[in-house]
Amino acid sequence: MRTSGVVCTLRHVALLEVRGSDAGRYLDAMCTRDLSGFDPGGLRYAALLDDRARLVADFWIWRVGMAWWLEVERRAAPSLLDRLNRFAVADDVEVAERTDLSLLHCEGPRAMDFANHFRKSGPTPEATGVVGGPLVVAWARRSRFGEEGFTFACTDEPLVGREGIKETGFPYATPAAQETLRLEAGRPRISIDFGAKDLLPETGLWGALSLDKGCFPGQEIVRRIVSRGEVKRRLVGFVEEEAAAVEGAPELQVTSAAESVALGKHIGLGWVSADSVAPGTAVRLPEPLFGGRVAALPFVPGPQAAAPDVPGERMESTAPR
- Asked if the structure places residue 246 within a domain, the reply is yes
Give the burial string for 286-317 (b: 16+ CB within 10 Å, else e): eeeebbbbbbbbbbbebebbebbbbbbeeeee
Q: How far apart are the first and last CA of the chain?
A: 45
Q: Which domain holds residue 204?
A: 200-295
Q: How far is CA 194 from the centre of its chain?
A: 12
Q: Which whole-number Å values give the CA distances from 79 to 14, 73, 207, in the listed order? A: 12, 11, 21
- Asked if the structure places residue 249 within a domain, the reply is yes
Judge contact between 167 and 175, C-beta under 8 A.
Answer: no
Q: Which of 220, 221, 213, 254 is nearest to 237 (CA)?
A: 254
Q: pTM for the whole thing?
A: 0.92
pLDDT of residue 99: 94
Query: What's the rounded Cα separation, in Å, for the pair 162 and 159?
Result: 5
- Asked if the structure places residue 21 within a domain, the reply is no
The percent of residues above 90 in pLDDT, for the chain, comes to 67
- Asked if the structure places residue 100 within a domain, the reply is no
Give the pLDDT confidence of 256-295 residue by residue, as tens digits.
999 999 999 999 999 999 999 999 999 988 766 678 999 9
Question: Going by C-beta distance under 8 Å and a sequence separation of 6 or more, which residues neighbour residue 314?
Answer: 201, 226, 229
Give the pLDDT confidence of 135-174 residue by residue, as tens digits.
888 999 999 999 999 999 988 765 655 555 666 678 889 9
- Asked if the structure places residue 247 within a domain, the reply is yes
301 φ, ψ (degrees, to nearest 5): -65, 145
Give the other-Cβ count within 10 Å of 251's Cβ: 15
State the CATH number of the domain containing residue 267: 2.40.30.160
- Asked if the structure places residue 238 within a domain, the reply is yes
Q: How many domains does the chain have?
A: 1
- Asked if the structure places residue 245 within a domain, the reply is yes
Judge contact between 145 and 1, C-beta under 8 A.
Answer: yes
- Asked if the structure places residue 215 within a domain, the reply is yes
